[in-house]
């Protein structure tokens, strides 16, 4: 089968914050770039980010990027790569100023500088007082950021392949790396081969492996699935952040900025329970800490019961209507819509909800994908990049700090774009064989040729339920093993699943089937990695191994799709400009 071929210098898959920042860096250089996105760019999940983007501007108090670095390393429970964290925190201010210059409508302080608010896990002077480091555009920072980046790309006339779905990587004829990707125009249903010197994955998260998630419906781990099928490893994929404040029942996110602005959590006795769990930082402890505390409260019977859902409440009413309307207007809107509660008058019912994938495709601090072979040998894949949530660069380690994901997106999206720009003339356009193209098309062909089988939605439902029940805030080996067994069965069933509508034009059930392949791959990787790490660290909290075990597990886990094998990879403890931060006990 001859596929139509389009050739570019670089293709970027995903048009969220990371993909669009990378595209912008490249478009400004005059390179031929294709920005491929399965949704119109401003529909990407970055749009839902609320609270802000963290970096040490020092607008509210004297600040230092090293303090931000310290907090991030500590927040990561010490398995974040310190060279990457250093880079992110150091260039952060410059990258945020660039966004401001592009027109991002940040909220302002009285002196006209960018407004910064306190967020969880932030400290001054390496663990001192609470800092206010998160730059915000009210509580719509992600929206403001994503639209600004789209607008800049519009100005730079980036080629956007809007509503194109990437299927799989195509291996190069010589076996060295990848020559491009197969992508499908959703509108026509036709597949093409996108041939390029460089490929940047910016496909975002996969929170839809869980039943209850703050993630958009499009967060289906497409990059993770593609990477695993291409034989690439994924790293620290057991690390899933549960955000403390998802609206009970709806899963919609309520920003940590609410607590930054002075809100706090209460149990059914009206008690501000975080004072017991984190006497110093209280409600602004790290997210893993708060989510665990909430789960313990609910377990102890201290939760409210709202239509059968057990939850705690986020109290904001004491902040006053004016502050809520100016700093948290979007939260008020969401709370009224999804919880039927006006936070000016009543607290919002919340539960810990799956929010963020700390793990992903391992990369170095330029965004270059690192392959780890069976013997643990590492190799940088020239021309292949991963940025944003789908990547594990790794700045978040075992637990991401609030406000660090937007920073991650723009810092590493930009870094990858700049790196490609520099190398583009040296990167070859690799040749392909029919066999490799056919291999990359085989998945689509399998779906298209199956007329009868179990439905996609049924398998997806069971997978999400399994993940929710067995891989949540608290985990045990026994339950996880049961969960893994179930997932392996589901994977078998998925091989024979089918959709009934086989038309081409805008066939979203076809897309959903392809997405489920990616979700399943991510779920399986998560399950294997979670069973593998026999300790508790950051978001990975095992009741059968309640302690952190630095002797054995101060390391990344690496999942290899082939044979579902696990291995480890050393954490980078060598920042370039400062002394490394050594692991300490993590208290807030």
Partner 1 sequence: MSEAMRTVKFKIYRFNPEVDIKPSMKDYELTIPDKQDMMLLEAILRIKALDDSLAFRRSCREGVCGSDGMNINGRNGLACVTLLSSLKQPIELRPLPGLPVIRDLVVDMKVFFEQYAKVKPYLINNDPPPAKERLQSPAERKKLDGLYECILCACCSTSCPSFWWNPEKFIGPAGLLQAYRFIADSRDTAKVERLEGLTDPFSVFRCRGVMNCVEVCPKGLNPTRAIGHIRSELLAEGN
Residues marked as catalytic? 287
Choice between 349 and 575, CB closer to partner 1: 349
Is residue 109 at the binding interface for partner 1, with CB under 8 A as the rule?
A: yes
* C-alpha torsion angle, residues 312, 314, 245, 56 (rounded to 10): -140
Angstrom distance (rounded) from CA 16 to CA 47: 8
Shortest CB 111 distance to partner 1, Å = 8
Beta carbons within 8 Å of 534's beta carbon, 6+ residues apart: 477, 542, 544, 545, 549, 552, 553
Choice between 65 and 78, CB closer to partner 1: 65
Is residue 15 at the binding interface for partner 1, with CB under 8 A as the rule?
A: no
Shortest CB 255 distance to partner 1, Å = 12
Stretch in the footprint of partner 1 (CB under 8 A) among 24-32, 138-146, 237-245, 523-531: 138-146
Angstrom distance (rounded) from CA 227 to CA 370: 11
Angstrom distance (rounded) from CA 116 to CA 233: 37
Cα-trace Rg, the chain: 22
Is residue 433 at the binding interface for partner 1, with CB under 8 A as the rule?
A: no
Q: Using CB under 8 A, which of 446, 465, 493, 504 touches partner 1?
A: 504
Stretch in the footprint of partner 1 (CB under 8 A) among 227-235, 275-283, 397-405, 494-502: 494-502
- Binding to partner 1 (CB under 8 A) within 175-194 occurs at 187
Q: Using CB under 8 A, which of 15, 53, 85, 114 touches partner 1?
A: 114
Beta carbons within 8 Å of 279's beta carbon, 6+ residues apart: none
Is residue 42 at the binding interface for partner 1, with CB under 8 A as the rule?
A: yes
Interface mask toward partner 1 for 45-64; x: CB under 8 A = x-xx--------x-------
- Binding to partner 1 (CB under 8 A) within 314-343 occurs at 330, 333-334, 337-338
Write the DSSP assignment of 223-278 as a string of letters: HHHHHHHTT--EESTT-EEEEEEEETTT--B--THHHHTT-EEE-TT---THHHH-
Is residue 113 at the binding interface for partner 1, with CB under 8 A as the rule?
A: yes
Using alpha carbons only, give the angle 28, 29, 33 rounded to the nearest 5 degrees.
Answer: 85
Choice between 501 and 562, CB closer to partner 1: 501
Angstrom distance (rounded) from CA 155 to CA 161: 16
Q: Collapsing DSSP states into helix, strand and coil, what is residue 23?
A: helix
Structure tokens at 362: 């391992």
Is residue 140 at the binding interface for partner 1, with CB under 8 A as the rule?
A: yes
Angstrom distance (rounded) from CA 346 to CA 341: 6
Choice between 18 and 293, CB closer to partner 1: 18
Shortest CB 231 distance to partner 1, Å = 30
Angstrom distance (rounded) from CA 166 to CA 156: 23
Interface mask toward partner 1 for 454-493; x: CB under 8 A = -xxx------------------------------------
Choice between 32 and 151, CB closer to partner 1: 151
Q: Using CB under 8 A, which of 102, 296, 306, 323 touches partner 1?
A: 102
Beta carbons within 8 Å of 409's beta carbon, 6+ residues apart: 16, 17, 18, 21, 46, 387, 388, 389
Shortest CB 131 distance to partner 1, Å = 19
- Among all chains, which residue has been given the structure tokens 């195509």? 170
Residues at the interface with partner 1 (CB under 8 A): 39-40, 42-45, 47-48, 57, 97, 100-103, 105-114, 137-138, 140, 143-144, 147-148, 151-152, 154-155, 187, 216-218, 250, 252-253, 330, 333-334, 337-338, 455-457, 499-501, 503-509, 512
């Amino acid at each position: 089968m001859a596929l139509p071929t389009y050739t570019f210098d670089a293709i970027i898959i995903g048009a969220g914050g990371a993909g669009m920042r990378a595209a912008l860096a490249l478009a400004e250089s005059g390179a031929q770039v294709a920005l491929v996105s399965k949704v119109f760019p401003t529909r990407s999940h970055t749009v839902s980010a609320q609270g802000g983007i963290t970096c040490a501007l020092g607008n509210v108090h004297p600040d230092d990027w090293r303090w931000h670095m310290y907090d991030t390393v500590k927040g990561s429970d010490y398995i974040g790569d310190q060279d990457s964290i250093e880079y992110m925190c150091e260039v952060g201010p410059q990258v945020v100023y660039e966004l401001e210059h592009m027109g991002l409508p940040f909220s302002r302080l009285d002196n006209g500088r960018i407004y910064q608010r306190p967020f969880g896990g932030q400290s001054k002077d390496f663990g001192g007082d609470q800092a206010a480091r998160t730059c915000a555009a009210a509580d719509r920072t992600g929206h403001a950021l994503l639209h600004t980046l789209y607008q800049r790309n519009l100005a730079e006339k980036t080629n956007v392949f809007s509503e194109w779905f990437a299927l799989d990587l195509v291996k190069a004829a010589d076996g060295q790396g990848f020559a491009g990707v197969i992508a499908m125009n959703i509108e026509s249903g036709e597949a093409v081969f996108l041939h390029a010197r460089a490929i940047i994955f910016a496909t975002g998260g996969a929170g839809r492996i869980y039943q209850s998630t703050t993630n958009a419906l499009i967060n289906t781990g497409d990059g993770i699935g593609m990477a695993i099928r291409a034989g690439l490893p994924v790293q620290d994929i057991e690390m899933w952040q549960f955000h403390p404040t998802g609206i009970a029942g709806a899963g919609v996110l309520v920003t940590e900025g609410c607590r930054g602005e002075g809100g706090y959590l209460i149990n059914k006795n009206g008690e501000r329970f975080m004072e017991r769990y984190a006497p110093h930082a209280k409600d602004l402890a790290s997210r893993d800490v708060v989510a665990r505390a909430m789960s313990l409260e609910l377990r102890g019977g201290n939760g409210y019961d709202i239509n059968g859902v057990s939850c705690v409440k986020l109290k904001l009413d004491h902040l006053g209507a004016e502050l809520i309307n100016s700093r948290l207007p979007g939260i008020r809107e969401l709370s009224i819509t999804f919880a039927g509660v006006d936070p000016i008058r009543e607290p919002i019912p919340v539960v810990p909800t799956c929010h963020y994938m700390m793990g992903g495709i391992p990369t170095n601090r330029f965004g270059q994908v690192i392959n780890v072979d069976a013997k643990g040998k590492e190799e940088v894949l020239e021309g292949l990049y991963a940025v944003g949530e789908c990547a594990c660069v790794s700045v978040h380690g075992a637990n991401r700090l609030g406000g660090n994901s937007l920073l991650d997106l723009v810092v590493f999206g930009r870094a990858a774009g700049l790196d490609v720009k520099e190398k583009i003339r040296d990167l070859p356009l690799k040749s392909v064989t029919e066999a490799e193209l056919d291999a990359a098309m085989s998945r689509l062909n399998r779906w298209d040729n199956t007329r009868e089988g179990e439905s996609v939605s049924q398998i997806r439902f069971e997978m999400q339920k399994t993940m929710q029940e067995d891989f949540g805030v608290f985990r045990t080996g026994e339950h996880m093993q049961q969960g893994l067994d179930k997932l392996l069965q589901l994977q078998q069933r998925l091989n024979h699943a089918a959709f009934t509508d086989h038309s081409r034009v805008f066939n979203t059930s076809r897309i959903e089937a392809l997405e489920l392949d990616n979700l399943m791959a991510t779920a399986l990787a998560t399950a294997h990695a979670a069973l593998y790490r026999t300790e508790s660290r950051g978001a990975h909290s095992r009741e059968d191994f309640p302690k952190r075990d630095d002797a054995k597990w101060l390391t990344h886990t690496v999942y290899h799709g082939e044979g579902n094998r696990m291995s480890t990879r050393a954490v980078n403890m060598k920042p370039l400009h400062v002394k490394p931060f050594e692991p300490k006990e993590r208290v807030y």
